Structure 1
Amino acid sequence: MKRRFTVSVILSRCSLASSWIFYSEYFYNYQNEGRVEWVYGDGFAHNLNNVNNLVSSLRFVGDEDNWKMDSITLFEFDLFFGIEYYDWTDNTQVPSGMSTVGSLIITGQNYWTVYTSTNFSGNRACLQVQSGQYVGFAADLDEYGIFTVRSYRRGCFGDKKITLNSDQHGFAVKARE
């Protein structure tokens, strides 16, 4: 399938339509270290700061045909590092290949409820993007008091409501611990 959204990176500048993550290390900083920078928007031009001239891998976030559509993307480690799992439907169990979930990104304008146990059970939190935005970033779920995600569904099914960071740009550096 041909992607409708494109990104071009020339040295340290990107121009994009949709949501992208840029990594300094190969395979999305799979060793849980490195630099990362995330940006989104329609025709948004941005100078990359953190991964300036160091981009080794990048990935698109959200639906390929409509980046503003409701979706959830889970990441193995914080800062959107490691393997990812993208979905737009309810899921009673995070896939077995995803043993940990350290960060996530939601798109669209509806809530997503994440649960600490399978089958929509355990502690829960309703996540939303900032009003008028289409992307919400949770670079470290621990900061929100969410220490694991084992299932999720679209809509709000709990009392704990969290508005995620919807800034068009963010970046971080993580050194080996």
Structure 2
Amino acid sequence: MKMLLFITLSVLFALSCSRVHFNAPSAAAKFEPSVENPKENQFMDGYNYSNGGGDRVRAVDYIPNLAEYNMDNTISYVCVTGIWLLYADANYNVANNAGSNYWVFGDNFCTDVPAGFDNMASSLRYTGAPDQWTGDTINLYLSPFFAGGEEYTYDDLPQLNYNDAAKSLIVTGCNAWTLYARSNYGGVCMCVFPGDSTKCFPGFYTTEESLGDLAGQISSVRKGCYCDNNKAYPDNYGSLTQHNFEMQKAKIPV
């Protein structure tokens, strides 16, 4: 019988894939893991057998390489609190934007990994606020399907660090955000939304097509919808499904 593997992760940083956010230091404290209410913190348990059997890895932060924890290409079942993204390649598919991925969210939500992604995960990370997955944030990714580098904020941001670079994004919380083509909330605008504003389910904009004319053109963002004539709803809008799998090679040329 295999020995149960239990791993609790400390904070991990990968320069090419690190989270970038720009807010006042006092506001940034909101993103520290909660000590008083640890059950509210995002975490994921990954198992190498279906129905939660075998070895386990517990993620409380980013894991750019599951091989370092002897769990590369082994995860078959997950239990999550929060919003978690799993990738077929190390470093969040940064070197292979056509790699497959899988995302899953909920409160203590457990499920078998889809057959097409079974035993494929090589890296994983959460999105949104680490201590409140239903909190309002916008998370922008430099490649389709949330691959590679990222930038996030929970406040208005008049100038993105990665200007004109986002090709996919995730809206968390209950409220809409407005994207702008120019800094300081100027130029062409578009409202983006959660998947369900009542349940505060995240909204997944997976590709450049999901973002329309603003794909690779976003320079500033602010919370709320201030562009009534241009609204784009997420790919999972109105869906109650709490996980999804993408075989990207069928969609994006390598």
User: What is the TM-score when the length of structure 1 is the normalising length?
Assistant: 0.91
Give the number of equivalent residue pairs.
176
Are 2:98 and 1:24 equivalent residues in the alignment?
A: no
- Off by >6 Å, runs of 4+ in structure 1: none
Q: Which has the higher contact order (CA 8 A, sep 6+)?
A: 1
Bigger CA radius of gyration? 2
**1:113-159 superposed Cα distances (whole Å, 9 cap, x missing partner):** 01122211111111112242321110013234132211100011112
CA distance in 1, matches of 2:183, 2:247: 32
Counterpart position of 2:11: none
The residue type equivalent to 2:45 in the other structure is S
CA distance in 1, matches of 2:190, 2:164: 20
The residue type equivalent to 1:27 in the other structure is N
Native 8 Å contact 1:113 1:157 kept in 2: yes
The residue type equivalent to 1:67 in the other structure is W
CA distance in 1, matches of 2:159, 2:210: 23
Counterpart position of 1:108: 173
Counterpart position of 1:140: 207
Among candidates 160, 181, 187, match of residue 94 of structure 1: 160
Counterpart position of 2:233: 163
Q: Which has the higher strand share?
A: 1
Counterpart position of 1:84: 150
Counterpart position of 1:149: 218
CA distance in 2, matches of 1:7, 1:52: 16
Runs (5+) with no aligned partner, structure 2 = 1-31, 35-40, 49-75
Q: Which has the higher helix share?
A: 2
Deviation at residue 47 of structure 1 after TM alignment: 1.2
The residue type equivalent to 2:173 in the other structure is G
Q: State which drifts further: 55-64 or 132-141.
A: 132-141
Among candidates 112, 120, 145, match of residue 47 of structure 1: 112
**1:89-114 superposed Cα distances (whole Å, 9 cap, x missing partner):** 11111104x65211000111111001
Q: State which drifts further: 49-58 or 61-70.
A: 49-58
CA distance in 2, matches of 1:154, 1:104: 14
Runs (5+) with no aligned partner, structure 1 = none
**1:27-81 superposed Cα distances (whole Å, 9 cap, x missing partner):** 0000212110001111111111142111111011111111111001100101001
Native 8 Å contact 2:168 2:211 kept in 1: no
